[in-house]
Structure 1
Amino acid sequence: MPRPQTWSDDERRRFLDDGVLVRRGLIHGEVLSRARDLVSDWLAEAYDPARLTAYTERSFAPELEKHPDLLAVYQRSGLAELAGDLLRPARTAPVTRAQIQIRLPHGAQQPVKRMHVDGVSCPHLEPRDLRTFTFIVGVVLDGSATAGAGALHYVAGGHHRMARYFATDWALGQPAQTPDDVDVQDGTAFTAEPGDVVVMHHLVPHRVGMNTSSDPRVMVYFRVHHAEHPDLALRALSDPWLEYPALAALAHPGNA
């Protein structure tokens, strides 16, 4: 069993500022290799090029989203403990499915993802659907560590701007996901090796870059929800620490 995982005070403050945390090499050994091989086999044997847009908008290998070898990346690696530690003393809801995102090598006619916040007026959802979460955990399963190899790009600190946007310039049902000043940003590339982990606040805007390498970039994502997220979701769009009791005390020490 992995050692108990926690976040340091410095990491918590960094998450307050940036909305993003990175753990290098956290996933390794059989947990990593079994998940990587599962997706690699699917890509070789079951991938349907005619569904590329649907895969990109939702998930590759959707039939594997509850496969034990994918869920083990979250449940048997220390990630579940890290997720719980970030929200303590609040509880997280069980994570029961994974999302696979693959950026195919250069030449594939794969749609480009612009800056967005997940679950808010996504192109494949009805405008009034709200399918948000508290934070997301991403793990690199395969692919190059370079910025041009299909890396995730995020706007560090963008959760502060997005909270203001949702509080003042957005209404449930409108199609725009981010304000213009966020939409035009390139963001910071998550340059990472297989086994590296990124934890990102739901409100951090992000996009995915083109893959100019010769190998697929494969990520598995887990959406983590505060146990009471359905009741808090709309308010949490404009209050980034509503679902993080301990971090809220750090962000607003005068209210503690």
Structure 2
Amino acid sequence: MPSTATWSDDERRRFLHDGVVIRRGLIHGDVLTPARDLVSGWLTEAYDPARLTAYTERSFAPELEEHPDLLALYQRSGLAELAEDLLRPARTAPVTRAQIQIRLPHGTEQPVKSMHVDGVSCPHLEPSDLRTFTFIVGVVLDGSATADAGALHYVPGGHHRMARYFATDWVLGQPAQTPDDIDAQDGTAFTAERGDVVVMHHLVPHRVGINTTNIPRVMAYFRVHHAQHPDLALPALSDPWLEFPALATLAHPGTA
């Protein structure tokens, strides 16, 4: 059983192959409960239905993104150490805000997110804006552990296809986010319970569908950046291991 703050060799190989690693039950009550209660309270008292599209495109509870109870999910749970271990010997930039994504229960006309990679040709950004990161960490705060409950759907191994796409068929500023063969995929559902964690390479294409249950699906996300990401962002789109020195050695043995 790997340490909660380090990656096993098997997990590293899985991240290389799939671009995704899941840790079940990693976040516990003393950190999880305050964050869950904070978002639940916001949903009851401060949620504005008129802003649903903006929330869905960016973040729910935007006024809470720097709240200590949300940041504790990353900073006091072992996730920060996991993030550092994944990039070592490179360094991570400080994570100073959370993103909350909620898929509201059945009956809410919430926009559906099609296959995409974050921060590239987003509809709410200028075409030339690049708001990427190195990888993302997602924590389940609430919701049903079923595929039809507004779960994240991702394409295992899709980061390899996306790197080829960005290298050969894409230029900064074009509106298309993903190639047709990725768009056509349904993806694998992240069926998870409260406290489960998903770590996903930035280039893994993903989508989010409709929540057909009666329980909101609530996720807290943390975008992790290599310390030099601003300089590496564009070339990292076509080189998935540029920001992962140790994994680059595993992916291309004999080239170090």
What is the TM-score normalised by the length of structure 1?
A: 0.98
The alignment status of 1:205 with 2:205, answered yes or no, reads yes
Secondary structure at the residue paired with 2:254? helix
The alignment status of 1:47 with 2:47, answered yes or no, reads yes
Secondary structure at the residue paired with 1:42? helix
Deviation per residue, 1:167-215 (Å, 9 max, x gap): 0000000000000000110000000000000000000000002100001
Which amino acid is 2:240 matched to? P
Deviation per residue, 1:205-227 (Å, 9 max, x gap): 00002100001000000000000
Q: Distance in 1 between matches of 2:44 and 2:26?
A: 27
Contact 2:137/2:224 (CA < 8 Å) preserved in 1?
yes
Q: Which residue of 2 aligns with 1:214?
A: 214
Aligned residue runs from structure 1 range 53-132, under 5 A: 53-132=53-132
Q: Distance in 1 between matches of 2:21 and 2:128?
A: 30
**Is the deviation greater in 4-13 or in 96-105?**
4-13
Number of aligned positions between the proteins: 254
Q: Distance in 2 between matches of 1:140 and 1:80?
A: 16
Q: Which residue of 2 aligns with 1:180?
A: 180
Which amino acid is 2:155 matched to? V
Contact 2:4/2:26 (CA < 8 Å) preserved in 1?
no
Secondary structure at the residue paired with 1:254? coil
State the percentage of identical aligned residues: 87
Q: Distance in 2 between matches of 1:178 and 1:240?
A: 15
Deviation at 1:4, TM superposition (A): 5.8
Secondary structure at the residue paired with 1:207? strand
Deviation per residue, 1:133-168 (Å, 9 max, x gap): 000000000011000101000000000000000000
Deviation per residue, 1:70-100 (Å, 9 max, x gap): 0000000000000000000000000000000
The alignment status of 1:240 with 2:205, answered yes or no, reads no
Q: Distance in 2 between matches of 1:193 and 1:39?
A: 17
User: Which aligned runs of 4 or more in structure 1 are off by greater than 2 angstroms?
Assistant: none
Q: Distance in 2 between matches of 1:88 and 1:38?
A: 33
The alignment status of 1:251 with 2:251, answered yes or no, reads yes
Deviation at 1:22, TM superposition (A): 0.3
Contact 2:159/2:205 (CA < 8 Å) preserved in 1?
yes
Q: Distance in 2 between matches of 1:204 and 1:4?
A: 23
Q: Which residue of 2 aligns with 1:165?
A: 165
CA RMSD of aligned residues (A): 0.7
What is the TM-score normalised by the length of structure 2?
A: 0.98
Which amino acid is 2:186 matched to? D
Q: Distance in 1 between matches of 2:80 and 2:200?
A: 15
Secondary structure at the residue paired with 1:255? coil
Deviation at 1:30, TM superposition (A): 1.6
Secondary structure at the residue paired with 1:140? strand
